[in-house]
Every structure is written in structure tokens, then in C-alpha cells.
Structure 1
Amino acid sequence: MDGRSYDQYGGGGGRGRGGCRNSGGRGYGGGGGSRGGAGGFWSSSGGSNSSSWRSSGPSPTPPSTNSQANSSSGGSDNRPWRSSAPSPIPSTNNQPRSSPGGFDSRSWRSSGPSPTPSTTQSPSSRNYSVEHKAILQSMKISEEKQLPLPSNTRDDKILPMRRPDRGSLSARSVSLLANHFSVSFNSRSVIMHYSVEIKPATIAGKRPFKKSIPKTVMRSIKDKLFTEDDNFPVDMVAYDGERNIFSAVELPVGEFTVTTSFSYKFTIREVSRLECSKLEEYLCGKISYIPRDVLQGMDVVMKENPSKHRISVGRSFYSKNYEVRDDLSCGVAAYRGFYQSLKPTSQGLALCLDYSVLAFRKPVPVLDFLKEHIQGFTKADDVIRMRREVINALRGLKVNVTHRVSKQKFIISGLTREPTRSLSFDLIGRNSQDSGRKIGIVEYFWEKYERRIEHLNIPCLDIGKPNQINYVPMEFCVLVEGQRNRRLDRDRAQFLKRISLAAPAERKNSICEMVQGQDGPSGVVAENFDMKVEKNMTPIQGRVLGAPELKLREMNGSICPVTVDQERCQWHIDGKSLVGAQSIERWALIDFTSTSHFKMHIQEFVYNLRNHSSRLGMHMEEPVVCCSTGMHEFSTVSRIEKLLRKVVADARQGGCQQGKELQLIVCIMTKRDPGYKYLKWVSETQIGVVTQCSLSTHASKAQDQYLTNLCLKINAKVGGSNIELNEQLPNFVNEDNVMFIGADVNHPAAQNSTCPSIAAVVGTINWPATNRYAARIQPQEHRKEKIVNFGSICRDLVNTFAQRNNCKPKKIIVFRDGVSEGQFGMVLNEELRDLQRAVCTEDYWPTITVVVAQKRHHTRLFNSKDGGVIVNVPPGTVVDTTIIHPFEFDFYLCSHYGSLGTSIPTHYYVLWDENGFTSDKLQKLIYNLCFTFARCTKPVSLVPPVYYADLVAYRGRLFQEVAMEQSSESRSAASASSLSAASFQQNFYTLHQDLQNVMYFV
């Protein structure tokens, strides 16, 4: 089962992203760095109002020279000088930070294009309405002295904000190494960009070949042309394997004929001349938009050498040989390699290189592959007995043939119906005497290739195309190298995961070996482009933030501080009560182990659970219903729904009165079952009761830590609070009503082309504890990252906050997950504006901050202890120098303790800020929030709003799977598209009204 499910059956410390997963090495995602620039903002001192139009006095005059953020003495936002983003160009002139207008009556929130920063425009020249002018007059602000729109806009598009300052807060400093390797280049160089088109040559009398040409074939065609034609310098060009060539010198253009086993037309055209000086200007902060075409060209250059010597998969490159220890013994092996990506950073251009592992099918003869892959397959004749298994194992795989000299690859479509000895065909040859003669496969291979076929009684492989016969004996076929194996059984998947979770020292050594290898990113081609890669990792100075003060309760109800372990930042709650422990008076238990060999002793489990919960301050009565059944109940939705409705009905008869419904159903299961999704969908959308699943193997042992984690999840689900910060959040001391929002989108598997993506948004509903969340789910267009109706969803959450706190939040902090650097514009110009339009009114203007949290990157940090031993970085490690963006506001924070593999720090990227965060305050705020996650007693690796949004999106994916199955049951001949359409219906994702604002997803 998916890693997300590991802790859904009990108390484990959260999903892999939480306290227990510190993995790396799967080669997912990108990285990203940043560096701070000058600029900043200025705010007036004193006062509690956050907007200039709310003040009665005139606006203060901003200082003429100030590159640092001056904080308000009153601790609150005093605009207009403190708006969203500082000037994108470092200078001595302080620029205001702006927000994306369009609907806002504030003068600096215009939706029009940005004027030149040095030009002052009157409101009338920006098409201000009469209402705008009236507001300006009431504020006694001269129209002629309005601040110009910020220069962090381009073509009416908002760019990510500038870094306000450098962080300095720390309990201690630490010397680190990062897997970024500095790349030097000649800023005066020009890279020639050419487009390439490769088509089969048209032969008279034959229809043109329409099928796309594989990348490997395209690269071999290009290599042949550049090797044989002296006008094309081989070592001066880099090819992306598709349509782009980048050259250090000018190339001939036009159409060329290349002949391999077929004849091709190779057309090359000049696209542009890429000036490396543009990238240098960006790195220096002279321009605010990244020259992506130049960076793309350099990236292809850096990939040219490894792509020639290694198996290429996206941005990753794997060895063509596997180590014996990495054999997965099923015709599949784990191949080690590296991921690489060029990044603009504070130190200049850098290459991020990370260790990666991927499973490939071994390039062995087909019969040898079958012997390894299929259990019980020992000899060639077993193909007859195990025909179905053989077809399933081979269909779609690529093979080379050994009976002739050819690099052509063929795809297996199936097996012949007849054995090899009985196969024959009509010979079509140049010799008129042979044409039309019927010949057997055995005779043909002897006459044509002088090859005797050994296995005559088994079928041949069918590697022909539609309407084309091409039968080849299995013994003459070998699997092509580099074929990924996407599906592994549970044991082999765990083995692959163990290999990928390399310890810090092993990971560091592997990375250094790869960057220095002959098949690494360096090479003759890169040198000819005047690019050179540093061979050593980047040394950086990190800061370790101190753990926050936490609080629980004594058994008498009084608040008590919690001692946090300094090394792992864990805390113990023995002898303490949860800070907001709930009493559970009405609950039921379903034992699904009654028909299993591992039948649970239910009474003993109930006693242990009640006893442990009472030690945490949670008073649990005896269950009002306790029924026994088997795992067969998970087979269909209807069976599980019938069972749950019966339990609820029995509970009412057993003492649950009207208005005092069942609070919880505990389910003891023998295994992780696909029917788990039925249970969650029925209980959370139809019945309206939270459920807690527990595996019998863990529940029967009743270990203290397991029971503690179980109780933490139960308490959160029934409305309780487990742990709280004993101090107010940084930047919000003495503030009223701050709301945190987390948003994520869960996309279907890559092979699926019809199912919806699932958007999830969560928001805090209590202040100042900020540890209770409400959640909303919605399906949306397939693989669409933008959250549709993001504004209306947030408005609903804001209204829920207002109902609980009798006041709307004055400040909103949005944490967005799952977006890459290329999608920042979408978040700023679409989602943020949608949020503002939906939430803001004439009398309600909350200040908004937007932060992106990225886990799927490849930046790794290595801590060198005394004696040179490489270990994981300690919890609270923050890096905001050297490897970050040249001038935008981002940083890396490792908030968790890495007990397995190499810790992955979370990359936080601040896109928008109206709350005047300094680097120190935002970093400390996020780190403190990581201690409030409900499922464990240690800080998690990801800020909780995003973590919860990810859990909710995954729950929505389970609901979608139920919708698909429900639809297929009601439509016997439904197409894939019509089944998928059913899963777009919102009613499948609408929670029961009793669970609308409950943390059912924990």
C-alpha cells in the first residue's frame, strides 16, 4: 500500500513526510536555491491599524535610502510602505511592496501595467474611479504623491517578492556541505540555438512513415550526421534528443540526408543566439526575470556527456551495469545513478547533483528473463504451460535480435498461436524464383542466417506491426537495456527503498564520485562551451533554531511546560495530560479478525486502550457496541455501509440518545485492505462518524508508544487538542485572529489520462493555538495544478473561522504545496488574485502572505561532526545563504530528526508578503508550527497546514476510486471516459455535515 497509508492503521508518526520519513534518492522533483538581495521595505512606528487608508493622519514620508526592513514598534503592519514585495532591483532607493490589484481600492494595488519606478503617475492616469479619489481625499493623501507601482511586475504579471533581509537568529551555527557544485561560464559567450526536424525520407510508390521516431533513434541519426560530415563539429554541440541543438559555433542549416537502416531527412534551422551575459545580469540582480532560454541551453550542454555514457531518464542518468548486491532476483535490478539540474543561486550558477536509484529490467535473453521473472518457470518448454503468464510478462517490452547485425528495437505484441516448427510464410524476395514460395521459419533462419533453432516446440515472439508479420524465435531475442520496471511487489519495493535511503556519508561519497567520473556532467563538450564544474561540494554556514516551548497539562488540569530533547527534539507525555483531552463516552468497536487465525483478544485491547487514554487525560467509557466479523466485509461498498449503519443503529439502542450520536468507531483489521477506502468513504460522507483503524499485529502487542500514537489520532479526530505552543507565534505577538491555510493538489498516476485531480484546502479554525483545522475537497480537471475556485473555498474557511472566533482573521498565511518554480506565476496571478477577490470586501481587508513549500527537490545538506563523520543535520537547521536564489525570498529548513537515510530539508519560497515578515520571524514561525502536528510527539518535516492538505487530498483520491468503482458497477458497458466522468461529481466528495469541520483525516 501507498506510504501514505502506513499510519492510517494505527499510531505511527504520520506519513512518510512526517517525523518518520527522511528518505531521499528516488530522483523525484527538482531543487531550487535562492539568494537575498538588497531592497526591503519601511514601515512607520506605532499604531495598530494595518492600512494607511484607515488612519486619520497623513502618510509618513518614506526614507530615501534604506535597504533593510525597519520593523514597526507596535508589531503590526503599517502600510502603504509595507505592502507585498520589495523592489526587485537592489538599490539605495527603498521601494514599496505591492499586491496584485484588479479589484482593490488601494492606490498601489492597480491591475494595470507597472510604470517605470522612477515615474510618478496620478491616480487619474491609472483610470481610478470616483470612489478611489474619494478614499484618497478622506485619507488626506495627495494624488500627485502616490507611490508608483512596484517594479516586481512584468507585463502586468506579478513576480515573486525580493528577500527583505538575511536571517541571523540561531541557537548555534553549524558548518555544512551542500550537493551544489559551482559552475563557471564565460559571460561573453554566445550559444547558438537550432531547431531540428527528423523525418523518414519519402520513397516513391510508398506511403510516408507516420509513426514517431524514438529518442534513441533520433540521437543515433544526429550522431551519424555529425560524425560523417566535417562541417558539423561533434564536440561543439549538445542535443536534447528531440528538437533542439545548442552549439558553441555556427552550424550549416538546411536539409540533409542520413542513411542508417532507413533513410531520413535531417532539417536544421537557426532559432536564436543566446547571450550568456543575460544570465550573468540575472545572477547579479540587474534584471528580475530569468532568461530561461539561456539556462535551458546550458542545462542541455551539462547533460550531453552523461547522456552519451549512461541510461537517461528525464534529468537522471543511471549506470548501464548493476551491482550484484542490487539484483532484485525477478529479472529486475536496481541501477544506481544521479540526478542533475542547473540552478541560479547566490554563489552564481550551480549544478545540483543527487544520488538516485531506479529499477530496470536486466538486458538478458528473453528466456533467461522468464526464468527469473516467473515463479516455476525453469525451462523453455514451460512457455506452453504458462502461456498467459509469459504474455503478461513480455507484452510491451522492447527487444533486440541476435540473428542479424542491427540496432533496431522491436516491441513484443504477443506470442504465435502455433509452435515454431509449424510456422511458415510466403517469401517475398528480389529473386522472382523465390517470390511467393512458402517457407517455414526453421528453414528460413537456416537459409538466410545459418542459424539453427533449438526450441522448436514453443511459440515465437510476435514483434510485428499491425498488418505486418514478424515472428522471431525467443532464443534470438534479448531485452533492450534501460527499460524501467514500474511495478514491484511489496518485498522488492521495500528492498529498492532501502537502497535509495542511503546514509549521509554513503550518499555524499556517491555524489562526489559521480561528479568526478568520466561519465559525469563534465566533459569535452562542456569545456568547449567555456563551462567548468567545481569538483567539490559547496561549503555553507547553517543556523540551528532553538526548539519552542510547548505545554501540556498536569493530571489536575493545570498547564505545565514540556521538556524537549535537545538532540532529536522529541518530547514525552508520560504522566501528563493532553492539553485539550476529550472525553469519549459513546464509541463502538468492530473486530474484523474473528474469522482469522490471528483473532484479537478484544477485551484485553479495550482495557489497554482505555487505561492508556485515561493516563493522557482522555476519559473513555466502555464501547456501547462491540461486534465481530471478518475481513470479507471490505469486499464491497454496500457490505461495509450495511455493517456501519447497523453499528450506528445498535449504538442508539444501546444508550446513544438523540443529539448524542456515536463519536468514534474503532476498527481492528488483520491487514491493509483495498476496502479501506470503502470504510472511509461511507463513514465520512454517508454516516458521519470518524473511524480509527488499527492492525491487529500492532494492537495485540499494546506497546506504550503505539497506544500513545493511537490516542493522539483519536483525540484529534473527536475535536481535542494534543499539544500547544507555550509562547505566541513569531511576528504575531499580541495579534488577534491569524489564520493559516494549506493547499495541495493530488494528481492521478502518470498512466491515467482521464481521472480528475483532487484539490484540498485546509484552514485553522482556532486562535492562538492554531492546531485545529477544517478541510475542503473538490475534484477538478485532469492534472490541472491551479486550484479552481480557490477563492471561494478560502472564503468558506474564513467564514468557518469567524463562526468559531466571532471575528474574521485579520491576517492570512497561505502555504501552497506541489508547485514548481515555473508555476509561481500561476499561484501569484491566478490563485492569489482569486483569493483576494473572494475574501476581501469594502470593510474587510486581511493582509496576506503566500509561501510555497517544496519537498520534491534534490538539495541535500551534510553535517560534518568532529572527526569528519558525516551525519544528518540537526532539527531546526536553516540555510538562507549561498545555495538559495540570488535575490528572491527563499530558504531551506530541516525541521525534523533524520533517523533513516539522508534528511530532506523543505524548501520554503515566499512569493507574496503583506505582513512584513523578516527572515528570522518567518523561519521561526514555520519551525514552531512543525511542533504542533497532531499525530506524533516530535516535529515533522513539513509545515502542518501543507501536511494536512496533503492528507486530505489523498483522502479525496480514495473517494475518487470509490466513485469510479460505484459507477462501473452501475454501468455494465461503461467506457473509461464515462466512468471517469462520474468521479468528477462533487457529491462523492461532500462530507457529512457532522464532519465538515472535524479533523477526520488525521
Structure 2
Amino acid sequence: MSDRSGVSGTSVFVFTNMFRIRDLPKKDFNHYNVIMKRVPDGPPAEVKVRDRRREIIHKLQDDNPAIFTSRASYDGMHSMYSVAEITQENFSVSMSKNPNAARGWFDIAIKRVNKISPSDLKKLMSPNGANNGQANSVAVNLLQIIVSQAPNIRHRFALHSKSFYINDDKVPTIGPGIQLWHGFFQSVRPVLNNMLINIDTSSAPMYKAGSLLDVAMEFMDQKEIRPFIRLFDGDRGPFALRTLKSFLKGVQVNVPPGEKKVKIEDIVLHAGYLEFEKGAKQIRVMDHFMEHHRYTLRNPHAFGVRANKSAVFPAEVCRIVPGQLYKKKLDGRATSEVIKHTSMRPDVRLDKIKKAVSSDILAYRNSPFMRDAGMNVDIDPLTVQGRRIEPPAVVYGDDRLANIQNGGWNVTRQKFRRPATIVAWAVVTFDPASSGAVTGFVREFRQEEPEIRAGNEARVNQSLLEAAQACVSNVPGKPKPSFVLVILPQNAGPLRKAVKQWGDMIEGIPTQCVRAGKYERPSDQYLNNVALKINTKIGGINSVIADRVPAAQFLTHCMVVGCDVAHPSPGVISRPSIASLVASLDECATRYHTEVKVQPPRQEAIDDIGGMLQRAIVQYRACRNNFPDHIIVYRDGVSEGEYVQVENNEIAAIQAKLDELEVERGHKARLVFIVVSKRHHVRFFPKDQSNTDRSGNLHAGLVVDTGIVHSTYIDFYLQSQGGLKGTSRPSHYIVLKNNAGLTTDQLQQLSYALCHVYAAATRSVSIPAPVYYADRLCARADFQFKPELDFANDGATDTSECDLQKWREGLGQAKLNQQMYFI
């Protein structure tokens, strides 16, 4: 709910991928709680699999048409919504094909817990209407379930999911055993005076469907069954087993009899020969399949899968169920394939969305759930008014201005604003094929040759240390070298990690890595990028915002903070989450103090944010000989449902520390706290092609703060970067605290200015530099743990609890924590 006082910029009208819900439900909806239990011979057990719950509720409604007079909408777990009054609370449903069978029965308890009226939905769109916590959540969930019910059922995706994917619209292979499915995202969003649906194209990696054995062989890069089986028997057998288990754990497969669905819990080698107790005798799995299924295993030596704690099924009889999301991290090749197949020009993307809205793909016109609710959706995207604000003046050495064109500028013939002083430097090459190319690459930076040495991968620390000592041997006082340039082979992840641990954690010497394929024939752009990073790491300043810019004047007595939290892979509970904080130490917001902490896995709230900020303030005062007048915190990674939690925890903790500072030192710093969100699906599209760049995107500097804004908080969308490939993504800024009393226009100008000072770029970036730095700091945390903890190996098959104390003791703060070592 923006305060538009003192707005600036050129007005522009744009399309957005928001569609207005023209007619909201006019009837009361009953909200029911659903408890569903299996009825075996023993005590009832709750059904937890969403697909199974959906099937049972579908059968329940088919069996009881007199009670379910209109089709109830169901979220797949415990919530059901219906205009009908369901007075009967207890039901029994048989899912067996034989209605007289004793097994296959389920008890269902349905109890009304709430009623949602049309007035409840209207409140969501009123000023301050989003502040009613749980009641609002239920009302929005009702609309979300109604909207997504028909396409999610049709394409067999979870009823609570905001995205569905289409089997017939896919890329067959993006990596071993992985496909890419295309589909659509839809999310109901109450905004001031409107109820909208945010609709976007969406894509997701999926496990390939079909033969489990074939997919496993493809994943392990094996074309013949015998070499594949032998993989698990040699010296590399344990590693191969862990690799396959990590890939397949949790995948659902259909198995005989009756193609029942089970989840893979473990991998069993030579499954056909495994013996189990059956009656009074031991029997092999292969013999069991012959006796009971009349099936002769062709490959009894191959692996099998364990499911339901003890059941074992040979891989050759298992078929992977289609439509299962691959949630693990993709490798570089697969990521490149995803980017290649998902990048769409804005006009193509909007056209695809509009066709989905007006057709049966989203089924708004034909959905029985929408029809029963009386809901209608506009088929035309919403038009909103935005503004294009001017970029700040970016200054290099000799007060020369950068010539900014659509978010980018050229640094040819520019000098650093403050070049760092280089005492001495060394080059260590671990690339055996480097030969004379290294010397030529080095001369591109400085005419005189530094100490160049060949490194030994078996003795990384010693190789680096010897080179570092040699390059300062003739320097008075023998100080540490300014930096070490390290030449790496093309694929050298573990080697790079060892180099960074030596420089960041052991010696406190900045390191800059370059890899094969880049340094042999470097482009000017690559050389500039390396130079920007080196100058920043060793204490220099590349560029600043010009003094005359109001944002720069405000920054003079302000500490700018970026915070982020990075989580382990989905399902991993043995690794902690990483919280990071960066805080500016100079008047230009170019130098930063850094800190990383561990906290419980998947916890978004930062545990010790008050203490982290307090330590940053101490460092700020040490550098500036004063306390900051203002502290602006940019917080990444917070979802809309967590705003209140952030206010009650993180903002309260920071404010308590600032109150202590006021009591102890008589200094009152005013806090501004802004959540920055990149992970959303709002996009903007030109109405007039004259407002676009070469990529078809709107020009950098687009701000939208009307029409689609929050009903409670000050918020705005800022598309700060120029178009590159595909459709540009704006960042969403939500202001949770504004003790400084800044106008929305001032907040927008300041945020846009901070997008122009990311040290390693010669273009504006998509988020303010401190947010980018906090994100980079989380990613670098792996290098700050003791190597034996192997933090990057997230233990996808490890089900042990997270030992926080072990991780806390194993995490160190970088010796370069007041230098930009993470760039």
C-alpha cells in the first residue's frame, strides 16, 4: 500500500501476468477438517500419501451423491470446502475392486470447523485487510483450491500445489534419468481493491518414467546390463551404491501385483538371490516371483529396492511413476539445458499464458469447482501503471562517469575509483596444460612478471604457501602478498575449495581462481571481470554512486545490511541451514563486514540476528569513529506468510539491540527493514514496443507500485536489470519497518542505486548489492567448515538428526571477514 509522495520517473503502462477474478463466490463455504484412517486388522493408521487421500475423497463423493450435492474442493490433506451442509460426520469407504473384501477399507471423519462468507473474501482486499492472520489464510486457501482443483486433478498433481505440469509438453532428456516438464503456475493474490490470479509458465525437472532398471543404467552411464551390475562389486562399489541410492531414494514405483505404488526406501544388491522367510522356510526373491507371479527374473544379479520397511522388489519389475519432481541439485549441464528450454521472450511468454487462460488448459470456464462457486476470471491480463526511473550516476577514477545504457556500461579506458596497492603477488598453476598461456594471461594485468610456480594437487597448501613466501622474499619486512592468482583445470571443484580454505581460513590471503577454457584466449570482458574482483578483494574500490545523487548522500551516515538464509536440499535433516549477514563499513556502501552462522535445518528465521548486527555496528564504529544514523536491512528469502514472524522475531531483536545502544551510548539509529523477494512469478510486459530493449523486455528502471500492491504493507516491484535472455524478473520489495520515515520514492531510488554498486559487475543487478553479497556468503559457507565435515555433500540418504553443536564448532569465520573475499 504505497505512499506515492514525491514520485519521480516517466509514466509507462504495462501488462502484467495478473488476471482479475471478476466474480467471487456469493455463497457461504463450509470449511471441514478431514481425518482419514486405514482400517487393517490392527489399530487404524492415518493415510499420509496425498495421492491416495485424493483418490479416497473422490470415491467418497461418488458413493454419496445425496450428501455431496455439489462437488467439494479438497486440498489433499485435512481441508475440504463445500457450499453443502455435510451433517454426517463418519464415513467408511472401500477402495477394493471387490466390494465384499475385508481389506481396502478406510474410515473418514469430516467435521466442520469454520464458515467462510463472501464478506470474508472482500475484507482481504480492503486497506489493512491482509492483517487477519489465520482467517485470511483459510479464505485465500479456499480460492486457491477452487482455482487449481480441475487442472491438478486432470494432470495428476498434488491438489495443494500451485503448479501443474503436462506430460505431453516435455523435454525428453536434460540429464541422465531426468526430463523437463512444462506447465503453469497459478496463485490467488488479494491486493488492494482486487482479487487476482498470478499466472505464469512453469517448468520442473522430473524423474523419467518407465523401467527403473533402464533409468538407473542411464543415470550410471551404462549401456549394458553386465558392466552395470559389476559396478557395484569392485573397489568403487560402495561409492556407486551411494550415488544410485541418493538418486533413487524416495522415488515412487509401481510393482506387482496389481501395479501397486510404493516408495523406494533403500537399494538392495543382487536382489533376486536375497532370501526371506516365508512360512516355515527360506525362499529366494527370484523363486518367489516364479511361484507367485509366473515371472522369471532375467537379471537376478541386478539391484532391487526395499519398500515398506521389509518388502524387496527386483528393479526389472519396477516402473517409475510419471510426474515425480526431481528435487535434488542439478549439475551444470542439466542446468544449462533447463535455461535453454525455459527462456522465452516476453511476447512469447505472455501469449502462452493468455492461451492457457482462454482454453481448457487452466479450465476456468469448464471447471465444475469454479462453476459451483460462481467464480469467473478475466481472460485479458491486467494493465498497471508503472514508472521508469533514471539510473544513478556511477563514478570511476578521475571523476569519470559511466555511460549507462539500459542497465549496462563499458569500463574500457576507465580507472578504478580507488585502485588497491599491490605489494607483491604470485601465480600458482594447477593446470598441467597451461604452458606459455599463463605468462600471456598474466601480462594482460601487469607488465612485470610475478612469481609463477607449478602447483601440486597432492600438496595444495604447501604449493600455495611456497609461492606466497617466494614472492615477498625481497620485500622489506616480508609482508603477506596482496593476493595469489590460481590457475585451475576446467573441472576442479575440490581443488578450488582447497585453495579458498587456504586463503580465507588458514593464511588470510586473498585468492583469485581462473580456470582452463577461459584464460588461454581471454576476452576483454573476462579480463575486466577478473580485474574487478581482484581490486575489490585486496581493498580497492571499483566505482561509487556520485556524491550529488540523493541516495549517495543518505548512505554517508547509513549502514546497509544484507541478510539471507540458505537451506539444505529438500528432505535432508542432517545438515544445518546457514544464516549470513553483510554490513557496510564505509560511506559509499562498498566495503562490508561479514558473518555466517549455523541454525536448525530449514529454519527461515535468523536466530542471532540481533547479536550479528550488534557486532557489525562495533566494526562500523571502529572504521568510521561514529555510529550509523540509519540502518537499512535488506532481508532475502522471506515468504509472504512469514512477514509477521519476521516482525515479531528478527525486527524485534534488532530493535532491542538499537534500544540498548541508545541507553548505553545515547545514540538512536533509525531502522528500515525491507524484505526483497526474487522467488515470485510476477512479470511485466510492454504494451508499447517503443518501451523495450533489444531482448523485448522493458527497459531497466521500471517501478510498479500501484494496482497489484499489498493491502497492508508498503511494497513495490523494481525491474533493475537490463534484459538479457528470456523474460526479465522484477524484484519485490516489502517494507516491514520504516522508522526513518522515507517516502516510497526515496526507498525505490535508494534500492535502485544499490543495484548499481555490485563490485564484480559493469551492469545493474537484479537485487541490491548487499542482498547479493549475503547470498554469495551463504554459498561460500562450505569453504568455511572444517574439511572433514564435507558440508557440500548434503547426505541425501542420511536420515540422522542434525547435530548443531558439531556444525557450530566446525564453522569458522573467514580471516578476511572485512575484505570482500566472497566476490
Q: TM range, normalised to the smaller chain?
A: 0.7 to 0.9
Question: Alpha carbons of 1:598 and 1:460: their partners in 2 closer, same or farther (altered >3 Å)?
Answer: closer
Instruction: Say which SS state the counterpart of residue 649 (structure 1) adopts.
Output: helix
Alignment-derived partner of residue 440 in structure 2:
604
Query: How much has 1:202 moved relative to structure 2?
Result: 4.4
Alignment-derived partner of residue 927 in structure 1:
752
Alignment-derived partner of residue 126 in structure 1:
none
Asked if 2 retains the 8 angstrom alpha-carbon contact of 1:930 and 1:940, the reply is yes
Q: Does 1:494 align with 2:319?
A: no
Instruction: Say which SS state the counterpart of residue 355 (structure 1) adopts.
Output: strand
CA distance in 2 between counterparts of 1:460 and 1:719 reads 56
Give the 5 Å matches for 1:106-505: 163-165=2-4, 168-170=7-9, 172-186=10-24, 188-203=26-41, 207-208=42-43, 210=45, 212-233=47-68, 235-261=70-96, 262-285=104-127, 287=129, 289-290=131-132, 291-312=136-157, 315-323=161-169, 325-328=171-174, 330-369=176-215, 372-378=218-224, 385=230, 392=245, 396-401=250-255, 405=258, 408-409=261-262, 411=264, 413-414=266-267, 417=270, 419=272, 453=296, 455=298, 461=304, 465-467=308-310, 471=313, 474=316, 476-487=317-328, 488-505=330-347
Give the 5 Å matches for 1:813-828: 813-828=632-647
Question: Alpha carbons of 1:656 and 1:775: their partners in 2 closer, same or farther (altered >3 Å)?
Answer: farther
User: What do residues 623-650 of structure 1 show as CA deviations (whole Å, max 9, x unaligned)?
Assistant: 3x332124x24xxxxx433333333433
Alignment-derived partner of residue 507 in structure 2:
687
Question: Alpha carbons of 1:465 and 1:990: their partners in 2 closer, same or farther (altered >3 Å)?
Answer: closer
Partner AA of 1:577 in structure 2: K
Q: Which moved more, 1:406-415 or 1:901-910?
A: 406-415
Decide which of 669, 682, 698 is 1:859's aligned counterpart: 682
Q: Does 1:989 align with 2:808?
A: no
Asked if 2 retains the 8 angstrom alpha-carbon contact of 1:964 and 1:980, the reply is no
Q: What is the TM-score when the length of structure 1 is the normalising length?
A: 0.73
Give the 5 Å matches for 1:532-547: 532-547=376-391
CA distance in 1 between counterparts of 2:769 and 2:125 reads 33
CA distance in 1 between counterparts of 2:455 and 2:555 reads 53
Query: How much has 1:188 moved relative to structure 2?
Result: 4.8
Asked if 1 retains the 8 angstrom alpha-carbon contact of 2:286 and 2:300, the reply is no
Query: How much has 1:460 moved relative to structure 2?
Result: 8.5
Q: Does 1:917 align with 2:742?
A: yes
Query: How much has 1:363 moved relative to structure 2?
Result: 2.6
Partner AA of 1:175 in structure 2: F
CA distance in 1 between counterparts of 2:710 and 2:802 reads 46
CA distance in 2 between counterparts of 1:464 and 1:998 reads 51
Partner AA of 1:627 in structure 2: R
Instruction: Say which SS state the counterpart of residue 491 (structure 1) adopts.
Output: helix
User: What do residues 276-322 of structure 1 show as CA deviations (whole Å, max 9, x unaligned)?
Assistant: 31231231226461422211222222221122112426634334424
Query: How much has 1:456 moved relative to structure 2?
Result: 7.4
Query: How much has 1:212 moved relative to structure 2?
Result: 4.7
Asked if 1 retains the 8 angstrom alpha-carbon contact of 2:483 and 2:538, the reply is yes
Instruction: Say which SS state the counterpart of residue 532 (structure 2) adopts.
Output: helix
CA distance in 2 between counterparts of 1:965 and 1:329 reads 25
Q: Which runs of 5+ in 1 are unaligned?
A: 1-35, 37-162, 429-435, 612-620, 634-638, 969-973
Which is higher, the Rg of structure 1 or of structure 2?
1
CA distance in 2 between counterparts of 1:997 and 1:837 reads 25
Question: Alpha carbons of 1:580 and 1:275: their partners in 2 closer, same or farther (altered >3 Å)?
Answer: same
Partner AA of 1:849 in structure 2: V
Instruction: Say which SS state the counterpart of residue 550 (structure 2) adopts.
Output: coil
Q: Which structure ranks higher in relative contact order (CA pairs < 8 Å, sequence separation ≥ 6)?
A: 1
Alignment-derived partner of residue 237 in structure 2:
none
Question: Alpha carbons of 1:563 and 1:715: their partners in 2 closer, same or farther (altered >3 Å)?
Answer: same
Instruction: Say which SS state the counterpart of residue 590 (structure 2) adopts.
Output: coil
Decide which of 526, 551, 562 is 2:402's aligned counterpart: 562
CA distance in 2 between counterparts of 1:447 and 1:406 reads 18
CA distance in 2 between counterparts of 1:545 and 1:224 reads 56
Query: How much has 1:352 moved relative to structure 2?
Result: 0.9
Instruction: Say which SS state the counterpart of residue 915 (structure 1) adopts.
Output: coil
Partner AA of 2:626 in structure 1: C
Asked if 2 retains the 8 angstrom alpha-carbon contact of 1:790 and 1:831, the reply is yes
Question: Alpha carbons of 1:397 and 1:724: their partners in 2 closer, same or farther (altered >3 Å)?
Answer: closer
Question: Alpha carbons of 1:656 and 1:533: their partners in 2 closer, same or farther (altered >3 Å)?
Answer: farther
Query: How much has 1:410 moved relative to structure 2?
Result: 6.0
User: What do residues 174-222 of structure 1 show as CA deviations (whole Å, max 9, x unaligned)?
Assistant: 332111111134465322111111111143xxx3364753111111111
Give the 5 Å matches for 1:390-789: 392=245, 396-401=250-255, 405=258, 408-409=261-262, 411=264, 413-414=266-267, 417=270, 419=272, 453=296, 455=298, 461=304, 465-467=308-310, 471=313, 474=316, 476-487=317-328, 488-520=330-362, 522=364, 523-553=367-397, 558-565=398-405, 568-593=406-431, 596-599=432-435, 601-610=437-446, 622-623=449-450, 625-630=451-456, 632-633=457-458, 639-655=459-475, 657=477, 660-671=479-490, 672-730=492-550, 733=553, 737-767=557-587, 769-789=588-608
Q: Does 1:880 align with 2:705?
A: yes
Alignment-derived partner of residue 160 in structure 1:
none
Q: CA RMSD of the aligned region, Å?
A: 3.4
Q: Does 1:897 align with 2:736?
A: no
Partner AA of 2:3 in structure 1: P
Question: Alpha carbons of 1:167 and 1:516: their partners in 2 closer, same or farther (altered >3 Å)?
Answer: farther
Asked if 2 retains the 8 angstrom alpha-carbon contact of 1:190 and 1:276, the reply is yes
Query: How much has 1:983 moved relative to structure 2?
Result: 1.8
User: What do residues 421-449 of structure 1 show as CA deviations (whole Å, max 9, x unaligned)?
Assistant: x99985x8xxxxxxx89999899878877
CA distance in 2 between counterparts of 1:336 and 1:643 reads 49
Q: Does 1:792 align with 2:617?
A: no
Instruction: Say which SS state the counterpart of residue 756 (structure 2) adopts.
Output: helix
CA distance in 2 between counterparts of 1:868 and 1:791 reads 44
User: What do residues 914-960 of structure 1 show as CA deviations (whole Å, max 9, x unaligned)?
Assistant: 22222222111211221111111111110111111111222224323
CA distance in 2 between counterparts of 1:484 and 1:194 reads 29
Asked if 1 retains the 8 angstrom alpha-carbon contact of 2:171 and 2:181, the reply is no
Partner AA of 2:662 in structure 1: T
Alignment-derived partner of residue 937 in structure 1:
762
CA distance in 1 between counterparts of 2:462 and 2:227 reads 46
Partner AA of 1:455 in structure 2: R
Question: Alpha carbons of 1:961 and 1:278: their partners in 2 closer, same or farther (altered >3 Å)?
Answer: farther
Partner AA of 2:223 in structure 1: F
Partner AA of 1:308 in structure 2: I
Q: Which runs of 5+ in 2 are unaligned?
A: 97-103, 234-239
CA distance in 2 between counterparts of 1:416 and 1:764 reads 55
Instruction: Say which SS state the counterpart of residue 546 (structure 1) adopts.
Output: coil
CA distance in 1 between counterparts of 2:778 and 2:271 reads 50
Asked if 1 retains the 8 angstrom alpha-carbon contact of 2:576 and 2:802, the reply is no
Q: What is the TM-score when the length of structure 2 is the normalising length?
A: 0.88
CA distance in 2 between counterparts of 1:967 and 1:348 reads 45
Partner AA of 2:85 in structure 1: E
Instruction: Say which SS state the counterpart of residue 983 (structure 1) adopts.
Output: helix
Partner AA of 1:563 in structure 2: N
Query: How much has 1:235 moved relative to structure 2?
Result: 4.6
Question: Alpha carbons of 1:863 and 1:347: their partners in 2 closer, same or farther (altered >3 Å)?
Answer: farther
Instruction: Say which SS state the counterpart of residue 77 (structure 2) adopts.
Output: coil
Question: Alpha carbons of 1:416 and 1:836: their partners in 2 closer, same or farther (altered >3 Å)?
Answer: closer
Alignment-derived partner of residue 962 in structure 1:
787
Question: Alpha carbons of 1:311 and 1:872: their partners in 2 closer, same or farther (altered >3 Å)?
Answer: farther
Asked if 2 retains the 8 angstrom alpha-carbon contact of 1:199 and 1:266, the reply is yes
Question: Alpha carbons of 1:651 and 1:976: their partners in 2 closer, same or farther (altered >3 Å)?
Answer: farther
User: What do residues 343-388 of structure 1 show as CA deviations (whole Å, max 9, x unaligned)?
Assistant: 1113511111121111222332345545654534346x77755667
